Amino acid sequence: MAKNHTVTLKELSKKLNISVSTVSRALNDHPDISPITVDRVKRLANELNYVPNLFAKGFRTKKTNILGVIVPNVSHIYTTTILKGILDEAELSGYRVIISESKNDETKQVEMLQTMIQFGADGILMSLAKKTSSVNKILSMLQRVPLVLFDKVSDKIPCTQIVIDEEEAAYNAVQHLIGLGKERIAILKETENSYNSEKRFAGYKRALEANNIPLKEKLILSTEDISLINGKRLTNVLLSMKKRPDAIFAITDNAAIGAIQTLNKFSIKIPEEIAVVGFSNSASATIITPSLTTVDQPGERLGRTATTYLIKEIQNPIEDLVTKTIEIKTNLVVRASTFKG
């Protein structure tokens, strides 16, 4: 404890009277080394509490065992569950994780990507910033280091991408509403044609179609920022219509909660008059009254599989880059906002 010096290969070699290279190879289970030597080396290394200098190692081998993660916002609740999955899975395979935020800023996103590569990350996990339009720079990075996209992805970037099966999730949600006898189902979506919004909208349309319910333009409301306040605002719009909807499918829990709050304000019965379903299964979904039926997204699992794929690609690099999408199934959590028990 007192002598604060670090044990190196050279030291081990001296103590054992063998060369540094033999020690190195023994520690790395190189086939050339005899079992007895391997044993002696490992035993001493253990005893002396040898820890390899990862910098010398990384410097030499150009491998760092670091995974870079770039997300728009670390404090987004769904993101954190994904992060948890990433951290866990990475740890299992002996990787460290460095995390940074793009803050939904495209230039910052590229910057982070660059510094992470410069820093020597063995691979990158990224969830794209909103409105990521110029993918050129990202593409040029791609040939330097394996990249796996998750959650917010883009088919303009040829790499493996892990997403929630948004379309089916939305389909199931709407199907659930239809099963309750609802027919005038409004949707609260995003104006920006983000990947997620588009997919959920597609699921909505497919469910209606499958039940021969005509699409009504008036019931399709869009907003720039699909937040709680805008959920309120759009619900007010819906309530001002002569023929009100009998259900609302909000693309986001926040918007759904906004909807519930304004419905409550006007004492409209949920779900009898208007049922509501959200998307995310956020913590607030059980806080609001009535509690919110919503799509549960297995963020942790998403994080895990994204990491698994990335590590696989790091360990045996693939030659031809091609978009490969893995979809993770969700399930609908039914609560009071659609079900009177």
Partner DNA sequence: AACGTTCCCGCAAACGTTTGCATAGTTTTT
Partner DNA sequence: AAAAACTATGCAAACGTTTGCGGGAACGTT
Among a copy of itself, DNA, none, what does residue 4 contact (CB within 5–8 Å per kind)?
A: a copy of itself
- The whole-angstrom separation of Cα 157 and Cα 128 is 11
Q: Which is nearer to DNA, 5 or 242 (CB)?
A: 5
Nearest partner of 301 among 74, 128, 89, judged by Cα: 89
- Interacting positions 22-81 with DNA (CB under 7 A): 22, 24-25, 27-28, 32-37, 50, 52-53, 56-57, 59-61
- The site partner of 18 among a copy of itself, DNA, none (C-beta below 5 to 8 Å per kind) is DNA
- Nearer to a copy of itself by Cβ, of 143 and 267: the residue is 143
Structure tokens at 296: 């549960």
> What backbone torsions phi and psi does residue 277 show, to the nearest 5 degrees?
-135, 145
- Give the nearer residue to a copy of itself in terms of CB position, either 120 or 222: 120
**83 CB-near residues (< 8 Å, 6+ apart):** 69, 71, 74, 99, 303
**Least distance from C-beta 122 to DNA, angstroms?**
14
CA 187, chain centre distance (Å): 24
What lies within 8 Å, CB to CB, of 203 at 6+ separation is 166, 167, 168, 169, 170, 171, 172, 173, 174
Helix H or strand E encompassing 160? strand 160-164
Q: Which is nearer to a copy of itself, 172 or 230 (CB)?
A: 230
Of 9-17, 70-78, 125-133, 304-312: span binding DNA (CB under 7 A): 9-17
The distance from CA 201 to its chain's CA centroid, rounded to whole angstroms, is 20
**Residue 125 binding target from a copy of itself, DNA, none, CB below 5 to 8 Å by type:** none
Footprint of a copy of itself on residues 198-257 (CB under 8 A)?
257
d(CA 94, CA 96) in angstroms, rounded, equals 7
Query: How far is Cα 138 from Cα 140, in angstroms, rounded to an integer?
Result: 5
**Which does residue 10 touch among a copy of itself, DNA, none (CB within 5 to 8 A, set by kind)?**
DNA
Binding site for a copy of itself (CB under 8 A): 1, 4, 51, 53-56, 58-59, 64, 66, 74-75, 77, 80-81, 83-84, 87-88, 91, 96-101, 115, 118-120, 140, 143-144, 257, 264, 283-284, 287-289
User: What is the contact surface with DNA in residues (CB under 7 A)?
Assistant: 6, 8-10, 17-22, 24-25, 27-28, 32-37, 50, 52-53, 56-57, 59-61
